[in-house]
Structure 1
C-alpha cells in the first residue's frame, strides 16, 4: 500500500519541491493551500487549509482521510517570514507569525495524531529553520517561532513514541524560493533609530535567499528521513557556514557569539 503524505504549504517553494519528488518515489501526496482553486500548476492534489484556522485544519485532514483512509506522513511545512526591529513590529503581526509558524503546526499535528495512533504508526516532519537555533537581529520573531517549534517537537516526540509515531525536525538554511515575497517586513521608517542597519539587513537577507541552495536538497533530505525507521530528533540542511553557525553557538561563550553576529550584521555598540 502506498504511503500517504500530507504537506502543509505545498503549493510553492520547499513544499512543492518535496511533494513533486516524493510523488516520483511512489508516494500518494496531498498538499495544502489557503486558495487551492488559484493554483493551476500543482502536480499533486491540493486541499484547502489555513493553518491559522482550527476548523479549516480539521476539514482539510478529514478530506484527505476520506479520500485515502490514512495519513502516514505529515510534513508541517507551512510558514511565513517576518522581519523588523522588535520595537517596531505591530503586535498583531507577531501574533499572526506565531499562529502560522507555531500554533498552526501544533493544530495540524493534533488533527492527524488520532488516525496515526489508530494505525499504530506515522511520521511527522516539522520544517523549522536554522534561524530557530539563535536569536538573529531583526528576525527575532521568526527565530522565536521556529525555535519554539523545535522544542515542542522534542517534547511531543517522547509523548507519542509509545504509539509507534515518530517526530523529527528539519531546519533548512536559505533556499532559493519565493519566501521573501510572502515575508512581513516592518516598514523602514524615516525617523527610526534602526533605519540604516535594518535597511542593510533586509538587503542582505534577500540576497541570501536569491543565492540560496536548490530546494531539491530538502527533498532529498526528507526522503532519506522517511526511509529511516528511527529518525534523529534534529536535522539541518543548508550551506556549510549556516549549519556551522549552530556549532559555534554551542561552543563559544555567549558574548563572543553575540559579537560575531553583530559584526556580521554590521551593528555597532
Structure 2
C-alpha cells in the first residue's frame, strides 16, 4: 500500500517566479501541491500543470483566514509543509529611501511570515512530526554586500532569517522542523517585481556618478544566474529528505557568501564590487570629488 502524498502550500506562486518553479518541482516529486498568489490570473504555469491553486494575499487577515479554511477543506486539516515564498525586492541607496515604502516591504517580507504561520500552525501540528516550516530568505541576509543599494531588502531578509531561527527553537517541541532557505542569484522575474522603481532621485548624493550608480541599481540579477527550474529541483530534493538541513543554500554565488561568514568583514567586497558594478561607481565618485577639490584649490 502506497503512502499518502505529503502536502505543501507555497505562497507567492506568480508566473516567472521562484514560487512557481518550486511548485512545478514539488509536483514532479510527487507531493500534493497547493499554490497560492494574491492574483490568480498570474498563475497560469502551475494551473496548466494541473496544480491546485488558491487565492492568498499574505497582507490580508481575511484572505489568510479564507485560505486556512480552504486548505483545511482540501486536506482534512493536515499540512505537511508551508513554504513562505511571497515577497518583493527593493532597490535604493539607504540615503534616498522612502521610509514609508520600506515599512510596506517589511510588512510583506517579514511580518506576513508571522501572521501566515500563526494561522496555519494547527494544520502543521496535525502533520507532526512530519511537518516543515520553510522560510525563503536570501544569501544577502548573511552578507549584505551581495546586493549593494538594496539595504532595505537585505535587512528584511535578515529579519526573516532571524524569525526562522526563532521558529526553529520554539516549534521544535511540537514536531515542526523549521528550515531557512538561503537563495543566491536565480534567473526569474524578481527584478521586475520590486516595490520601488530603481531610478536614482535627482538630488541623490550619488548623482555625481549617476550612470555608474544606475548600473548598480539595475544589477539585481547576476550574469549566468542559476536556472530557476534547476534551482527548484535541488531545493525540493533537499526538502524531501527525512530530516532536511536547518539551513539550505542554493543558487549562484551562495558558496562565496557562505564562506564570507568565516572571513573578516569586508573580505569579499572587492569580488562583489566587480560583479555588481559597485567598484566602477566608487572609482567615478572619487574622480569627481578629486576634480571638485582641485578646482576649489
Is structure 2 residue 100 aligned with structure 1 residue 67? no
Alignment deviations for residues 172-214 of structure 1 (CA, whole Å, 9 cap, x no partner): 11111111111123432233212324312023324x2x63211
Q: In 2, Cα distance between the equivalents of 1:71 and 1:119? A: 6
- Decide whether the 8 Å contact of 1:85 with 1:186 is kept in 2: no
Alignment of 1:145-160 (within 5 A): 145-160=156-171
1:32 to 26, 30, 36: 36
CA apart distance, 1:61 = 2.2
Q: What is residue 294 of structure 2 aligned with on the other side?
A: none
TM-aligned CA distance change 1:231 to 1:25, over 3 Å:
closer
CA 214–118 in structure 1, closer or farther in 2 if over 3 Å, else same: same
Partner of 1:77: 85
2:5 and 2:254 mapped to 1: Cα distance?
35
The alignment of Structure 1 onto Structure 2 pairs a total of residues equal to: 265
Deviations 1:203-249 (A, max 9, x none): 3324x2x632111233222322332222222111112x44213312x
Q: Which residue of 1 aligns with 2:60?
A: 53
Between the aligned partners of 1:170 and 1:124, the Cα distance in structure 2 is 10
Q: How many angstroms apart in 2 are the aligned matches of 1:50 and 1:243?
A: 33
**Could you list the per-position Cα deviations for residues 63-97 of structure 1 after superposition, in whole angstroms to 9, with x for gaps in the alignment?**
11112212111111111010001121211211111
> Secondary structure at the residue paired with 1:205?
coil
Question: In structure 2, do the counterparts of structure 1 residues 25 and 202 end up closer, same or farther at CA, with 3 Å as the change threshold?
Answer: same
Asked if residue 225 in structure 1 is aligned to residue 238 in structure 2, the reply is yes
Q: Which residue of 2 aligns with 1:199?
A: 214
Taking a change above 3 Å as real, the CA distance of residues 186 and 176 of structure 1, as seen in their structure-2 partners, is closer
Secondary structure of 2:187's partner? coil
1:1-269 equivalences in 2 (<5 Å): 1-12=4-15, 13-37=17-41, 39-41=43-45, 42=47, 43=49, 44-69=51-76, 70-121=78-129, 122-136=131-145, 137-183=148-194, 184-195=196-207, 196=210, 197-206=212-221, 208=222, 211-239=224-252, 241-248=253-260, 250-258=261-269, 261=272, 265-266=278-279, 267=282
Structure 1 position 261, deviation (Å): 4.8
Secondary structure at the aligned position of 1:50 is classed as: coil
- 1:216/1:166 Cα in 2 relative to 1: closer, same or farther (>3 Å)? same
Structure 1: gaps (5+ residues):
none
Residues 188-197 or 56-65, more deviating: 188-197
Q: 1:142 & 1:108 partners in 2: Cα distance?
A: 20
Shift of 1:31: 0.9
Report which of the two structures shows the higher radius of gyration computed on alpha carbons. Answer: 2
Change (3 A) 1:37 1:254: closer
Provide structure 2 residue ranges, at least 5 long, that are not aligned to the other structure: 287-297
Structure 1 residue 259: deviation in Å? 5.8
